[in-house]
Chain A
Amino acid sequence: MTDEEKIKQELENKFTYLKDAVIVKRKSRVFAAVPLEKFKHVFDYAVKNLGFDGLCAITGLDLGESLGVIYHLNREGRLTLNLTVALDKEHPQVATVTDYFPGADIYEREMVDLLGIAVKGLATGQHYPLPDNWPKNDHPLRKDWKGEAKHA
């Protein structure tokens, strides 16, 4: 059995609700959709028990009806595990992962600025990447954002 399948199996054994939610796309690419309320458990397990010791990036998504966040983890630089979380569009909020990876700070700030996803536990700090005087509740990466007119 390959490493990818092992991870799929371990995740599915540990978390029954992940049955059929873990997909091995190709060699060293595993995707998993995780319910928001269970995310912390899965993330913790992946980092502490499955040996995922690196965070490539965090991607924020606008999926139309909902928002999404993908955490791209990797193991020893090789295998990538992508945990997708769907968020409610009205009050999108996730918990910070900076206690696992201090480097996640910048990716989370980017999500806050560009998509308006609140990150619980993220230390107050500077904006990134938008300027400080950027209007509040104005998030360019939202699909319904019509900023061109507003800023022209």
Chain B
Amino acid sequence: MIGVPLTHILFLSTALFFIGVFGFLTRRNMITMLMSAELMLNSVNINFIAFNKYLFGHQLDGVFFTLFLIAIAAAEAAVAIAIIINIYRNYQSIDIDDADTLKF
């Protein structure tokens, strides 16, 4: 296959990862934060696929891991969103900074 070298893809995934981190650290909206977390997970997925494809083509571990990862991410998202909805019930807001009654 014509040469997109591994490093490019790693760049992409790493960039994605740090974008996710950035979003998670800066976004005030819980849903957005959750999305940023998903973004980080996806960068991980890209990593797995890429490594699997480029380095260890004879096996499928990475791919499997990715599949599991997607599933789990979905589950996590489900629970997280449920919780966030509950937050909204209690706080009438999903701004992360409003939910800071527990402190010190």
Partners in one complex: no
A residues near B, CB below 8 A?
A: none
Q: Which residues of B contact A (CB under 8 A)?
A: none
